[in-house]
Amino acid sequence: MQLSMTVKKSFNDFTLSTGFSVSGDRVGIFGVSGSGKSTLVSMLAGLVSPENGEIVLDGNCLYSSVKQINLPPEQRRIAMVFQQHSLFPHLSVRNNLLYGFKRCPLEYRTIDFAALVEVLKLAGLLDRSVTNLSGGEKQRVALGRAILANPRLLLMDEPLSALDDSLRFQIIPYLKSVSERFGIPYLFISHSLLEMRLLTDTVLVFEKGSMMEQSTSEQLARSRMGQTPVGYINLLNLRCPSPAAGLFAYPWGATRLLLSVGSDRDESMAELSSKDIILFKQHPEAISARNLLQCSVRSLFSSGRKIGVELDCAGNTLIAEVVQDAVDELAITPGSTIYAAVKASAFRMLPGT
């Protein structure tokens, strides 16, 4: 997917004015509410017209004030998933799903209905009325509806924000698998950095109506580390827990981690804040923290007033956060060996996983 957008539109209290070019299949737009992300996406879909500018997607011009082109939404083949599911209340689940499909020109009807239903686990719901579904089910149907229309680009405007935490992280795997399985690139809008990291590769950061920076979600998380109270969230894919003296033991690379919370699921994702990792220059003989890892320093980066330390622990990566003084005191340099201590209680399971 290749998108370039240069648009301008003024409103009562602010002006949206931006120009950028991005390529990739999993792009994110990140910013707080009011930064103009929703308007930008509406313009891309054709629901709102800019004052002037140009929008080109995969070589097709969707809008150009100079050339007087403004394709209506129904001709752009860009589907949207909204924050509020916006399912048609007078149609069943099946008919909602097929709404866009039926309006696709024949040559584009390549998405297999049964396969989609299977991936999104909607089989039992097909003939139900959409008003009787739970929030998560509704969003899955909304996603399915958008995908079945076989769009060139899927726009998702804060689709998870209205869901509660456990639901949110349950849906994320669906989003990824569906897009991968059917080959549909997406543009994911959110104010949650975590969602960005889980779903996107390239991120455009928006603030006050214009694009501030373009980077990867990983880079963004690192650069924000020093500015947020939660620090950098290490995301760990863990599986096959086994009980160990009241704690949960998860194999991790060449070693194992002990967590005070566990999941009865086979596969889970855990969070560990960079602030909760304590570094030792030398191996402390005895320590209360149940996790003591020997790591080597890969690199250092600064973020705000803090320094991020990228550690290689038994093949996995961890980011720890320290102050400059600590770096000097412990002589932390790339290549040096360092010990990282983490309490079992510092880990948190991602809700719903």
Partner 1 sequence: MIPLSSTDYDAIRLSLQVAVAATLLSLPLGFAVAYLVTFVRFRGKVVLEVLINLPLTLPPVVVGYFLLLLLGKHGWLGSLLSDAGIRIIFTLKAAVIASAVVGFPLLVRSLRIGMESIDPQLINASRTLGARWYDTLLTVILPLSLPGLIAGSSLMFARSLGEFGATIIVAGNIPGVTQTIPLAIYEYAGSPTSENMALSLCLVSVVISVVVLFLHENMAKKLVRRD
Residues 79/151, Cβ–Cβ less than 8 Å: yes
Question: Order of strands, edge to edge, in the sheet holding 78-81?
Answer: 78-81, 153-157, 186-190, 26-30, 202-207, 210-216
User: Closest separation between CB of residue 90 and partner 1, Å?
Assistant: 4
**Residue 80 sits in the site that holds partner 1 (CB under 8 A):** yes
Q: Using CB under 8 A, which residues numbered 225 to 284 contact partner 1?
A: none
How many C-beta atoms lie closer than 10 Å to residue 134's C-beta? 11
Residue of the chain from 15, 23, 84, 333 that contacts partner 1 (CB under 8 A):
84
Return the bridge partners of 189, or none. 29, 157
- Give Cα separations from 207 to 30, 32, 36, 110 (angstroms): 9, 7, 7, 38
From the list 219, 179, 138, 165, the residue with the least C-alpha distance to 187 is: 179
Residue of the chain from 66, 67, 72, 240 that contacts partner 1 (CB under 8 A):
72
Q: Using CB under 8 A, which residues numbered 130 to 189 contact partner 1?
A: 131, 145-146, 149
Residue of the chain from 66, 67, 89, 245 that contacts partner 1 (CB under 8 A):
89
Q: Which stretch binds partner 1 (CB under 8 A): 59-67, 83-91, 226-234, 309-317?
A: 83-91
Nearer to partner 1, 154 or 279 (CB): 154
User: Closest separation between CB of residue 84 and partner 1, Å?
Assistant: 6
- Give Cα separations from 217 to 146, 203, 224, 261, 274 (angstroms): 25, 6, 10, 27, 16
- Write the interaction track for partner 1 spanning residues 13-52; mark x where CB under 8 A is met and - where it is not: --------------------------------xxx-----
The residue type of 111 is I
Cα gap 168→230, rounded to integer Å: 19
User: Closest separation between CB of residue 168 and partner 1, Å?
Assistant: 20
Q: Using CB under 8 A, which residues numbered 46 to 65 contact partner 1?
A: 46-47
Q: Which residues bind partner 1 (CB under 8 A)?
A: 45-47, 72-74, 76-80, 82, 84, 86, 88-90, 99-100, 103-104, 129, 131, 145-146, 149
